[in-house]
Structure 1
Amino acid sequence: MSEHFMIDKDKQQKLQNIILKLHQGASVAEVKKEFATLIQGVSAAEVAQMEQALIDNGMPVEEIQHLCEVHVEVFKASLDKEKISSKVPGHPVQTMLDENKAARARLRALKKAVLAWRFGLGQKEQVLAALDDMSKIIVHYTRKENQLFPYLEKKEFTGPSRVMWGKHDEIRALFKEAHSKVEQNDKSAISSLHPLAGKISRMIFMEEHILIPEAVRRLSDEEWAHIRIGEDAIGFAWIRPGAVYDPYLVLAGAVTAKPQPAAAIPESTAIPAVGATHHASPVPASDLVELATGKVPAGLLSAALATMPVDISIVDAQDKVVYYSDSPDRIFPRSPAVIGRAVQNCHPQKSVATVNRILDAFRKKEKTRARFWLEMGGRFILIEYRALYDAAGAYIGTLEFSQDLTELRTLQGQRRLLDWD
């Protein structure tokens, strides 16, 4: 388990006061002098605890999100002195650091392409190529949101997931805006590209000097192993993790066989070929899931749910995610760390009020369905929430499902015969 640490309460209060002055409109220059008296020995832990305390005491997350880059500027001198201990290749921390190193190189390439385009020495296609390459960092952010943040939330450290996710979305929006303008050969895109590069650079700094040190301090070796096991479900930006770090070895204490995917169908439940005689032993009763209209082998049910042409998530009455369908073609990424996570934390902060409104209406039976649709990457996506009630009518949870309707919207006429050509 990570080493316990103590924070000077008096210094913590003074740090909070400085940030509160910033939130009340003071400039960075105005607080720097006051901060100079506290700069000696300030750690990433104190910065992180300060922001977490502000959230816990009721400060809107949006305010901290709006000014967290100012916080970085204020604390940069002291945080620059902190070093992250290197990890073996494949450890989630080392993977994040390797991706950040790759991101810095892409940032330099993007800035070079933009400069050449600005002065007529390059083409928009070069900027688009550099921008598309740089946008792979979104996978890095998505992995943080779905794998690292849930484990920090279990430690009641919710600041990163609430604040950083908002900053990720700002970067996503700038990517979209810049790409659209560059495609149109609109050089006003440069006004989007400069803040984009700045936000990415500051996010790298916040990760390496605040988020990662705090995560290393708070999470155990076993928790890092579970994080690594779930990372492949999300993917990686530019690099592949090294193979030196073995999470299964960490968890087992010895080399063990890696478990089969949950969706694998046990041999006893496999469907025989047409015309074949099935001699497999009956499925043990303990392996059957009893449903309202039948009993299904657990492996068969899991495979069926994962094969459905929709993304499924189930949230219980306590707003905890208890299931998601692990389809290889998911529209929105999910990983094992989401299980047991508050559904509110599975959405960016700007969407939490809407999530709570839906759940509250479901509980009160004011509504039983909420439906949204959007266009994403040229695809038409339907997202729907359905309230779940037991036989007595009591609210027991919510079903969320998403479906890509792009091809279905083009269907016309009818097809009544099998056509596999």
Structure 2
Amino acid sequence: MSEMINNREKQTADKSERQQELKEIIKQLHDGKSIDEVKARFQKAIDKVSVNEISEMEQSLMEEEGIAVEEIQRLCSVHAEVFKGSIEDIHGDDALQTPPGHPVHTFFKENREIDKFVNFKLSLHKEQFQREQTDENKEKLIADLSKLLEIDNHYSRKENLLFPFLEKVGIFGPTKVMWGVDDKIRAFIKRARTQLTEGEWVLEDLIEQLDFIIFEVTEMIFKEENILLPMSMEKLTEDEWLKIEREGDVIGYTFIEAPEPWQPEREDLSSNEFMKDGVIQLETGILSLDQLELMMNHLPVDITFIDENDVVRYFSHGKDRIFHRTKSIIGRTVQNCHPPQSSHIVEALLEDFKSGKKDVEDFWIKFRDKYVLIRYFAVRDKDGAYKGTVEFTQNIEPIQEITGEKRLMS
């Protein structure tokens, strides 16, 4: 028994030393050391490092060392390069030995197509345009960048389906870092396409942006397959992977057809686990749960409710939702449902509601083919105590087109 205790203590001490070494390496990068200098120290000091330790190190740098999420994002690509070839359990194309239809298998399958697209097609068209800025070469790039925007489906499934389950087991740092990098990739794709479409580009700057897109998309594939997904396989249960798989079609896929449903040898969990028999007695009526659900989903608006602790408790799911919602957000804090760079806006709005400074806040944006009104209402009890926030989202473009009067049925 004493040997087991001693071994465990030694393993804990070794892990602590590796964690400290990892922190020092990242801090050296932060202070301007070259990649070669840091890589040499890394290879000399550490023979093997687990993906979990990298994850824990990132989170510790933010929580204990006070390094901002944005700074970790800046270093993320650099330290991924340092760790390449040194992370245990590099599985390559075997999708971590998962069967077709499993979310991990689907992520890997998409990554193969994304990799081919950016490193062959987009790279080729970039080089053609760099040599000769003809209208034909420009249109090829515009078409490529428009197609590459489908990567949003891949990233959104990761952010809105996988990340919530990782957060439930205490993993926050790596998810925030990766989401921030995803958003930078999205922004650069949109910016480059807009410049080409509107004819407001400078060749050197445009090529630099395209190189950034190709590099960061490729690096993200590495980070997902060798850090994020192996860590997720260790942390998540089969039940949780089933829930992620069942919600995948809500968001969609990138460069592949929707996979065949994955069903391990066990009870089918595809039924709606949130529906139960019963009725609700309200102040002004009595409804069955089925009636209430149908009524909420037939309203021409999207509704989301978070409680006084900022936890998402409900969203309506009509057939024409404006913004994707998946059941994995239920029980998740609303701050973690938004990209890191916009979380301060969420915090400010909630603080105004909780303090009583405001009862309502409105936003309106152009989103795809819609003109969207987003309204937030503070929910208070009869004594005025804050009990939560309702988000109310509606496409108001058809309403803006209304003129005159209508007094007869169509």
**TM-score above 0.5, yes or no:** yes
- The aligned residue for residue 126 of structure 2 is 114
For 1:257 and 1:194, the matched residues in 2 are separated by 44
Select 2:37's aligned residue among 26, 30, 38.
30
Question: Could you say if the C-alpha distance between residues 152 and 260 of structure 1 is closer, same or farther in structure 2, counting changes exceeding 3 Å?
Answer: closer
Aligned residue among 98, 101, 112 for 1:90: 101
1:324 and 2:324 aligned: no
CA-based RMSD of the aligned residues comes to 2.4
Structure 2: distance between partners of 1:261 and 1:32? 49
Aligned to 1:353: 344
The answer to whether the 8 A contact 1:369-1:386 is kept is: yes
Going from structure 1 to structure 2, the CA distance change for 1:404 and 1:153 (only over 3 Å counts) comes to same
Pick from 169, 179, 193 the counterpart of residue 210 of structure 2.
193
- Tell me the secondary structure at the aligned position of residue 292 of structure 2: helix
Tell me, in whole angstroms, the C-alpha distance in 2 between the residues paired with 1:289 and 1:244: 35
Structure 1 residue aligned with 2:27, among 20, 23, 28? 20
Aligned-partner Cα distance in 1 for 2:46–2:407: 75
Residues 311-390 of structure 1 mapped to structure 2, 5 A cutoff: 311-390=302-381
Correspondence for 2:177 among 154, 159, 163: 163
* Matched-pair identity in %: 37
How far apart are the structure 2 equivalents of 1:32 and 1:22? 10
Q: Name 2:387's counterpart in structure 1.
A: 396
Partner in structure 2 of residue 78 of structure 1: 86
Q: Against the structure 1 CA distance between its residues 46 and 258, is the aligned structure 2 distance closer, same or farther, given a 3 Å change threshold?
A: closer
Contact kept? 1:118, 1:187, Cα under 8 Å: no
> Is the Cα–Cα contact under 8 Å of residues 365 and 372 in structure 2 kept in the other structure?
yes
Separation in 2 of the partners of 1:77 and 1:39?
A: 12
Are the equivalent residues in 2 in contact too, given 1:91–1:241 (CA < 8 A)? no
2:406 aligned residue:
415
Quote the offset at 1:242 in angstroms: 3.8
Q: Could you tell me which amino acid in structure 1 is paired with residue 335 of structure 2?
A: Q
Determine the C-alpha separation between the residues in 1 that align with 2:228 and 2:221. 10
Q: Whole-Å Cα distance in 2 between the matches of residues 363 and 52 of structure 1?
A: 29
Q: CA deviation at 1:150?
A: 0.2
Pairs aligned (count): 390
Counterpart position of 2:60 = 53
Task: Establish whether residue 213 from structure 1 lines up as the match of residue 192 from structure 2.
Answer: no
Structure 1 residue 19: Cα displacement: 0.8
Output the CA distance in 1 between the equivalents of 2:101 and 2:197.
37
Contact 1:161 1:345 in 2 (8 A): no
| Other-structure match for 1:181 | 195
Shift of 1:24: 2.9
3-state SS in 2 of match to 1:123: helix
C-alpha distance in 2, partners of 1:66/1:383?
32
Matched, 1:126 2:140: yes
Secondary structure at the aligned position of 1:8 is classed as helix
Over residues 86-127 of structure 1, what are the superposed CA-to-partner deviations in whole Å (9 max), with x where a residue is unaligned? 210000000000000110121121111222233337432222
**What is the TM-score of this pair, normalised by structure 1?**
0.86
Alignment of 1:240 onto 2:257: yes
- Is there any run of 5+ residues in structure 2 with no aligned partner, and where? 1-10
1:135 aligns with 2:129: no
Q: Alignment partner of 2:223: what SS?
A: helix
The one-letter amino acid paired with 1:113 is H
Residue by residue over 1:133-156, the C-alpha shift from the partner in whole angstroms, topping out at 9 and shown as x without a partner, is 222111000011110000000010
- Which stretch shows the higher mean deviation, 39-48 or 78-87? 78-87
CA distance in structure 2 between the partners assigned to 1:21 and 1:81 by the alignment: 26
- Mapped partners of 2:129, 2:405: distance in 1: 51
SS in 2 for 1:341: coil
Instruction: Report the counterpart of residue 6 of structure 2 in structure 1.
Output: none
TM-score with structure 2 setting the length: 0.89
Partner in structure 1 of residue 298 of structure 2 = 307
Q: 1:150 aligns with which of 129, 151, 164?
A: 164
Report the residue type matching 2:16 in the other structure.
K
How much has 1:292 moved relative to structure 2? 2.8
Q: Given that residues 73 and 181 in structure 2 are in contact (C-alpha distance below 8 angstroms), is that contact kept between their aligned partners in structure 1?
A: yes
Amino acid in structure 2 at the alignment position of 1:201: T
Q: Aligned partners of 1:117, 1:329: CA distance in 2, in Å? A: 40
Q: Give the residue type in structure 1 aligned to 2:139.
A: E
**Residues 249 and 258 of structure 2 are in contact (CA less than 8 Å); yes or no, is this contact kept in structure 1?**
no
Shift of 1:297: 1.9
For 1:213 and 1:45, the matched residues in 2 are separated by 9
Query: Which secondary structure does the structure 1 equivalent of 2:378 belong to?
Result: strand
**Structure 1 Cα separation of the partners of residues 283 and 185 of structure 2:** 46
Q: Residue type of the partner of 1:293? A: T
1:80, 1:378 → 2: CA distance?
46
